[in-house]
Structure 1
Amino acid sequence: MKLENKPTSITLQNFTTESGAFYATLNLSFQVFGPALHTAPIVLVNHALTGNSQVVGESGWWNDLIGEDKTIDTNKYTILAFNVPGNGFDDTIIENYLDFNTRDIAKIFIQGIHFLKIKQLYAIIGGSVGGGIAWEIAALEPKITQHLIPIATDWKSTDWLIANCFLQEQILNNSSKPIEDARIHAMLCYRTPESFKSKFQRTTNEELAIFNIESWLCHHGEKLQKRFQLSSYKLMNQLLKTIDITRNSGSFEEIASKIEAAIHIIGIDSDLFFTVSENRATYEELKKYKNNVTYQEIVSIHGHDAFLIEYEQLDNLLASIF
């Protein structure tokens, strides 16, 4: 059994983005975990904003959910994970981040799936912007997967989300410490007032003479600055802002009703980014013309980041699929 490997690259030729930008070549890298491709059902895992294809292993970001004898068991399922071109993990840099939207990345991933001669996936799963890319893939290729599992996300970026991404972009373009400052702001959206209260209780760091919440935010900013590139942050933020399966392509009903996959929406009751009211509205709309759709909720004080924290709940919610 091959559990993990180094990223492998595919070179895509002559790609034109929706905005009309032409790329003669684009590097698409990926990793495969578990059984070799075509020997077991394949699960495509889409990474979130600061993530990458290293889903499991020593520095795997979803080790608690995916791996040997885990919820998504790498003894039973082949895990495929692409890197969003420009996320920095494979040294591919994209400076012109405004060239791309979320659907472009979905098209690139679909080209990768076809290149690997995959006829159908067992499931596509992703949290946050990774879930948005999952929605876009299913909208473009309605027969591509048996299960679509968007977690802490939605089929579109709301005004609230666009506003926060706009502020992120302002910080990234104008701050003297762009990655650190943008990350500090982002953490306020990823968590909740209740989460901070339970963790910090207004305590102070005597050594630094600041509040512990402040030192924690600075730590997160510095940590990301060491491992993430500015161009990558700008691009991924742009993708978070541009999720919309209906852009220039018809109504939600027209597009979603064609998706053949069973759709399993998982929201987080305290998510400030992709709110449960939007998730529930999506579910209610889908129910009108699809019978293979479910909606479930993670209950947590931790907000948007709960999909990376509440593993036991996620395990229970996903058990019937895997």
Structure 2
Amino acid sequence: MRNIKRIAIFDFDLENGKQKPYLHLYYETFGLPLGTAPVIVVNHSLTSNSSVGGEKGWWKEIVGEDKAIDTNLFTVISFNVPGNGYGDPEANLIENYRDFSIRDVARIFWEALFFLDVNEIYAVIGVSLGGAVSWEMAALQPDKIENLVPIATDWKATDWVIANVLIQDQILNNSKNPIADARMHATLLYHSPTYISQLYEREETDDSFSFKIEEWLTDKGSQLKNRYQLAAYKFMNHLLKTNDVTRNRNDISIIARRLESNIHLVTVDTDYLFTTEECLKTYQKLRSVKQNVYYNEIKSVYGHDAFLMDFDQLSGILRPILNNQQKQNYVSL
């Protein structure tokens, strides 16, 4: 499977007090070799993985040679969230999924980075769930990330997000066709009503009272069922509701003040999962205590998943952030 690598992590203490004797952490690297260039960490979304670049990369329009995340200039590292099933469909699954939190994932990523002798990161870029992991990474190590770029996400799960996680969890644990059914529900959260409505404009199939939008939505469920595992879906969905960088910490304003990172918030104006309204509240609160906070908005009909579809706008946001980096003479010692 591609150039996927593995790090073994032993005796990992979870946030809830339990200990995980052994964890597999699978990851991929793209671009220049480690130790020779600035590092960018890309954190994936709920059902994606570490394959962000390359011919079959799910973000290949963003990560690659001469792309917004330019692999001619950077070393790109992408970790699989432990439990997402990628790398080893059997070893990389976690059955006791309610034990883990996003903070645990961020701590695991830092442990791996230190193992790889990466102590400074030029940018941590995370999309959706991966953006929440990115917030936690910054809170855990406030002086090690130069640019924090959370996309279509927030530092917290709102009641709206938590409620939808519950619906997904109920479907995944009670449906006869759990992955497909949960995916159909989630798809309506990932796209805007305008986008969904304009796909077929109420066009019917050849069957009576059957619509093409129903076929499209059913196909979305089947596609995920064919490539994803139930344990992984339960685990990744659960992580969403554990998103809160202030848990057992200070207010977000105090946390932000400690961060040395430039914070580049990226939202989608039609996002119905992590709404623009919440992102603006975050921006205003952070900007009141920290100058180097920036707000960027993708205007798109696609909804939450615009980061997977509206590549021109996203590239236009990322390039100025990352182009500030002039290639330096990095030497491995």
Band of TM-score, shorter chain:
over 0.9
1:155-211 per-position Cα deviation (integer Å, ceiling 9, x unaligned):
000000000010000000000000000000000100111001221111122269721
**Of 3, 6, 9, which residue of structure 1 is paired with 2:3?**
6
Give 1:117's aligned residue. 117
Q: Which runs of no fewer than 5 residues in structure 1 stay unpaired?
A: none
The CA distance in 1 between the partners of 2:10 and 2:160, in whole Å, is 36
Decide which of 37, 52, 55 is 1:55's aligned counterpart: 52
The Cα RMSD (Å) is 1.2
Q: Which amino acid aligns with 2:34?
A: L
Q: CA deviation at 1:39?
A: 0.6
Counterpart for residue 61 of structure 2: 64
TM-score, with normalisation over the residues of structure 2?
Answer: 0.94
Kindly indicate whether residue 27 of structure 2 is the aligned counterpart of residue 43 of structure 1. Answer: no
Displacement of 1:253 after TM fit?
1.5
Deviations 1:16-37 (A, max 9, x none): 1111221111111110001101
Q: What are the superposed Cα offsets for residues 47-84 of structure 1, whole Å, 9 maximum, x if unpaired? A: 00001111112321101111011111111111100010
**For the residues of structure 2 that align with 1:61 and 1:165, how far apart are their CA atoms?**
24
Distance in structure 2 (CA, Å) of the matches to 1:76 and 1:168 = 40
| Structure-2 residue corresponding to 1:167 | 167
Tell me, in whole angstroms, the C-alpha distance in 1 between the residues paired with 2:56 and 2:173.
29
The residue that corresponds to 1:294 in the other structure is 294
Matched, 1:249 2:273: no
In structure 2, C-alpha distance between the alignment counterparts of 1:209 and 1:69, rounded to whole Å: 49
Please state how far the C-alpha of 1:212 moved relative to its aligned partner: 1.0
**Residue 147 of structure 2: aligned partner:** 147
Tell me which amino acid in the other structure corresponds to 1:223: Q
SS where residue 320 of structure 2 aligns? coil
Residue 29 of structure 2 aligns to which amino acid in structure 1? V
CA contact (8 A) 1:5 1:32 kept: no
Q: Which residue of 2 aligns with 1:76?
A: 73
Q: How far, CA to CA, are the matches of 1:113 and 1:10 in structure 2?
A: 10
Identity %, equivalent residues: 48
Contact 1:102 1:243 in 2 (8 A): yes
> Aligned partners of 1:300, 1:133: CA distance in 2, in Å?
24
Secondary structure of the residue aligned to 1:321 is helix
Q: Secondary structure at the match of 1:225?
A: helix
1:142-221 matches, within 5 Å, as: 142-206=142-206, 210-221=210-221
Which amino acid is the alignment partner of residue 64 of structure 2? G
1:33 maps to what in 2? 30
TM-score norm. by structure 1 comes to 0.97
| 1:76-112 CA-partner distances (Å, limit 9, x unpaired) | 1111000101100122110000010110100000101
| One-letter amino acid matched to 1:178 | P
Give the SS at the match of 2:321: coil
SS at match of 2:166: helix
Between 152-161 and 310-319, report the one with greater CA deviation. 310-319
Q: Distance in 2 between matches of 1:48 and 1:208?
A: 38
CA 1:78–1:5 in 2, change beyond 3 Å: closer, same or farther?
farther
1:21 aligns with 2:13: no
2:102 equivalent to 1:102:
yes
1:288 offset after TM fit, Å? 1.1
**Alignment-derived partner of residue 313 in structure 1:** 313
Give the letter for the 1:194 counterpart.
T
Q: Give how far 1:149 is off.
A: 0.2
Q: Is the contact made by 1:138 and 1:148 (CA closer than 8 Å) also made in structure 2?
A: yes
Task: Indicate the SS of the match to 1:301.
Answer: coil
**1:203-233 per-position Cα deviation (integer Å, ceiling 9, x unaligned):** 1222697211110111110110010000000
Partner-residue secondary structure (3-state), 2:108:
helix
* CA–CA separation in structure 1 for the residues paired with 2:224 and 2:56: 14
Q: Please give the alpha-carbon distance, in whole angstroms, between the structure 1 residues aligned to 2:9 and 2:307.
A: 32
Gaps of 5+ in 2: 323-333
Whether the 8 Å contact between 1:283 and 1:295 is mirrored in structure 2 is yes
* 2:258 alignment partner, SS class: coil
Mapped to 1, the partners of 2:208 and 2:128 lie a distance apart of 34
